[in-house]
Amino acid sequence: MTDPRTQAVLDGDIRTTARLIRDIDDEMSGYIEALMNIYPHTGKAHLLGITGLPGAGKSTLVDQIVEHIRKREKTVGLVLVDPTSPFSGGAILGDRIRMHRHYTDPGVFIRSVATRGHLGGISRSTNDIVNVLDAMGKDVVMVETVGVGQDETEIASAAHTTVVVLTPGMGDEVQAIKAGILEVGDIFVINKADREGADRAVRDLETMLDMDARPRDGFRPPVITTEALSGRGLEELMDAVESHRVHIEKSDRLLEKKRTRAEFEVMELLKESLLTEAVKHSGGMEGMEKIFDAVSRRLTDPYSEVQLLLKKLLKK
**pLDDT value, residue 158:** 84
The confidence score (pLDDT) of residue 153 equals 65
Residues near 10 by Cβ (< 8 Å), separated by ≥ 6? 38, 41, 135, 136, 137
- Residue 190: beta bridge partners? 166, 225
CA distance 105 to 63: 13
Domain that holds residue 179: 42-250
217: in domain: yes
**166 in the same domain as 133:** yes
Task: Look at 79-83, 91-95, 155-159, 304-308 and tell me which has the smallest mean pLDDT.
Answer: 91-95
Query: Quick one: pLDDT at residue 104?
Result: 83
- Let me know whether 229 and 297 are in one domain: no
Q: So what's the pLDDT on residue 205?
A: 86
For residue 151, pLDDT over 80 is answered with no
Residue 135 · residue 41 · CB < 8 Å: yes
Task: Find the radius of gyration of the CA atoms of the chain.
Answer: 21
Query: For residues 263 and 229, is the Cβ–Cβ distance under 8 A?
Result: no
pLDDT at 152: 56
157 with 275, same domain?
no
For residues 158 and 276, membership in a common domain is answered with no
Lowest mean pLDDT among 80-84, 120-124, 275-279, 283-287: 120-124
Q: Of 250, 279, 296, which closes a domain?
A: 250
Mark which of 195, 219, 250 sits at the end of a domain.
Answer: 250
Helices 253-281 & 126-136, crossing angle to 10 degrees? 130
Verify that 269 and 189 share a domain, yes or no: no
193-218 b/e (C-beta count within 10 Å ≥ 16 → b)? beeebbeebbebbeebbeeeeeeeee
* Kind plus residue range of the DSSP H or E element containing 264: helix 253-281
Q: How confident is the model at residue 119, as a pLDDT? A: 46
Whether residues 285 and 194 share a domain: the answer is no
Q: What is the pLDDT of residue 38?
A: 94
- What is the reported pLDDT for 177? 53
Same domain for 111 and 214? yes
Element (H, E) at 246: helix 234-250
Q: Is the pLDDT of residue 117 over 60?
A: no
Q: What would the mean pLDDT of 145-168 be, rounded to a whole number?
A: 78
| pLDDT tens-place string over residues 28-44 | 988 999 999 999 999 99
Same structural domain, 270 and 217 = no
Is 160 domain-assigned? yes
3-class SS letters over 111-138: EEEECCCCCCCCCCCHHHHHHHHHHHCC
Write the CB contacts of 255 (distance below 8 Å, at least 6 apart in sequence): none
What pLDDT was estimated at residue 148?
Answer: 53
* 96 in a structural domain: yes
Predicted TM-score of the model (pTM): 0.85
> What does the pLDDT average to over 239-260?
91
Task: Examine the domain organization and report whether 148 and 241 are in the same domain.
Answer: yes
Q: What is the mean pLDDT of residues 44-72?
A: 91
- Domain-embedded: residue 9: no
Does 34 map to a domain?
no
Same domain, 304 and 190: no
Distance of CA 247 to the CA centre of its chain: 21
| Alpha-carbon dihedral 137, 226, 150, 220, rounded to 10 degrees | 80
State whether 192 and 101 are in the same domain.
Answer: yes
Q: Do 101 and 216 belong to one domain?
A: yes
Give the chain's domain count: 2
Sorted by sequence, the CB contacts under 8 Å of residue 148 that are 6+ apart come out as 54, 119, 121
- Where residue 69 sits, what CATH number does that domain have? 3.40.50.300
Is residue 57 in a domain?
Answer: yes
126 domain residue, yes or no? yes
Whether residue 80 lies inside any domain: the answer is yes
The answer to whether 49 and 158 are in contact (CB under 8 A) is yes
**Cβ(305)–Cβ(291) under 8 Å?**
yes
- Please report the pLDDT score of residue 87 as a whole number: 53
Q: Of 194, 219, 250, which one is at a domain's C-terminal end?
A: 250
Residue 126: name the closest of 112, 108, 109 by CA. Answer: 112
Residue type, 77: G
CA angle 56, 61, 67 (to 5 degrees): 175
Helix (H) or strand (E) holding 162: strand 161-166
> Sorting pLDDT into bands at 50, 70 and 90, what band is 116?
low
Rounded Cα distance, 246 and 169, in Å: 33
Residue 165 has pLDDT above 60, yes or no: yes
Spatial strand order in the sheet of 161-166: 108-114, 76-82, 140-144, 46-52, 161-166, 187-190, 223-225
Q: pLDDT tens digit string along 180-227?
A: 567 788 999 999 999 988 998 898 888 888 887 665 667 889 999 999
